[in-house]
């Protein structure tokens, strides 16, 4: 079995473990992984290759998908799939600087039926999508701050068909890769903005960040300006100790912390969620840099 075949098998097993066995998803993700492997030696996009690339980056990003779908009330994820142990662990484990509200979707709320995902043919044209933060009205507007190689924005968008994702990256070399990858994938729900997050315009119902910047008063101000009142910021973080430090540094007292289990990886991973309705008033933003967080 070749290196690429081992990676594909690992991805398939990881998707199954996460409950993400969706038509065409493994095929289009493998296409993305092959593009990463092709350009990574030259551009230094991620410090991994082969099975490590699949586990530490692609599956790491996808581990949050069931939780994100529950928070956004989209897809076909049922509350029981989240696991009560995770919610209990989140609520019990948060320090006083990060008291979790743990508000999930209403029981019995209607969910959008997921359309079948079909990988596009080579050279298929892109249509629609987002332009300067303005989403197609059929999708939830989302952005990935400091997208880099498209992580987590590309895997998450391929898995959640209700999203329209703006990949925000300031590096010209990485933007070149992102635009090439988006064209190759043919997903009209992905767009690329070469921009500093601090200068990004528009409002988003979902803000993602994985390897962007630590949580500080300044980064909270950026998120506060971009998130909609009914939106969330979902931040990929590692150890609990580091999270507590960042929350205290940023002065955040209300955050939701969800442990993530990444297939084949025995390391701490968490999703930190900040809700827009605690910082965005009906008539604009609160005056405090961290608002109600």
CA distance 164 to 168: 13
* Beta-sheet strands, E only, within the chain: 140-145, 163-169, 190-194, 204-209, 227-237, 256-259, 270-275, 280-281, 284-285
Q: What is the DSSP string of 164-222?
A: EEEEEE--HHHHHHHHHHHHHHT-TTEEEEES-GGG--S-EEEEEESSS----HHHHHH
Is residue 250 within 8 Å of 218, Cβ to Cβ? no
Is the Cβ–Cβ distance between 122 and 144 less than 8 Å?
A: no
CATH superfamily of this structure's domain 61-101+129-285: Vaccinia Virus protein VP39 (3.40.50.150)
Residues of the chain with pLDDT under 70: 1, 76-137, 279-292
The per-residue pLDDT for range 214-263, each reduced to its tens digit, is 999 999 999 999 999 999 999 999 999 999 999 999 999 989 999 999 99
User: What are the domain boundaries of the chain?
Assistant: 61-101+129-285
Q: How far apart are CA 224 and CA 281, in angstroms?
A: 11
Strand 280-281 and strand 256-259: the pairing is unpaired
What local confidence, expressed as pLDDT, does residue 280 receive? 58
pLDDT computed for residue 173 by the predictor: 96
Residue with tokens 């070749």: 2
Instruction: Tell me which residue of 171, 107, 157, 162 sits closest to 136, measured CA to CA.
Output: 162
Which pLDDT does position 235 carry in this prediction? 98
């Amino acid at each position: 079995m070749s290196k690429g075949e081992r990676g594909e098998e690992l991805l398939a097993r990881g998707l199954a473990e996460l409950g993400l066995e969706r038509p065409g998803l493994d095929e289009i993700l493998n296409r993305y992984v092959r593009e990463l492997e092709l350009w990574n030696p030259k551009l230094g996009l991620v410090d991994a290759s082969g099975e490590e690339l699949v586990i530490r980056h692609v599956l790491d990003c996808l581990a949050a998908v069931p939780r994100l779908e529950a928070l956004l009330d989209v897809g076909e994820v049922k509350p029981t799939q989240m696991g009560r142990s995770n919610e209990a662990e989140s609520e019990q484990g948060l320090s006083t600087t990060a008291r979790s509200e743990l508000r999930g979707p209403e029981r019995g709320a209607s969910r959008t039926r997921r359309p079948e995902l079909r990988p596009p043919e080579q050279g298929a044209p892109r249509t629609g999508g987002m332009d300067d933060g303005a989403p197609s009205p059929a999708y939830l507007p989302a952005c990935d701050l400091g997208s880099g190689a498209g992580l987590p924005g590309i895997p998450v968008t391929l898995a959640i068909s209700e999203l329209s994702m703006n990949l925000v990256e300031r590096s010209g070399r990485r933007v070149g890769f992102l635009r090439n990858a988006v064209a190759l994938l043919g997903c009209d729900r992905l767009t690329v903005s070469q921009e500093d997050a601090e200068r990004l315009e528009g409002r988003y119902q979902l803000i993602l960040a994985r390897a962007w910047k630590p949580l500080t008063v300044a980064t909270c101000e950026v998120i506060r300006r971009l998130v909609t009142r009914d939106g969330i910021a979902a931040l990929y973080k590692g150890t609990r100790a580091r999270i507590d430090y960042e929350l205290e540094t940023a002065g955040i007292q209300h955050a939701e912390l969800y442990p993530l289990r990444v297939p084949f990886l025995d390391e701490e991973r968490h999703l930190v969620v900040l809700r827009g309705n605690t910082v965005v008033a009906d008539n604009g933003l609160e005056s405090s840099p961290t608002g109600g967080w």
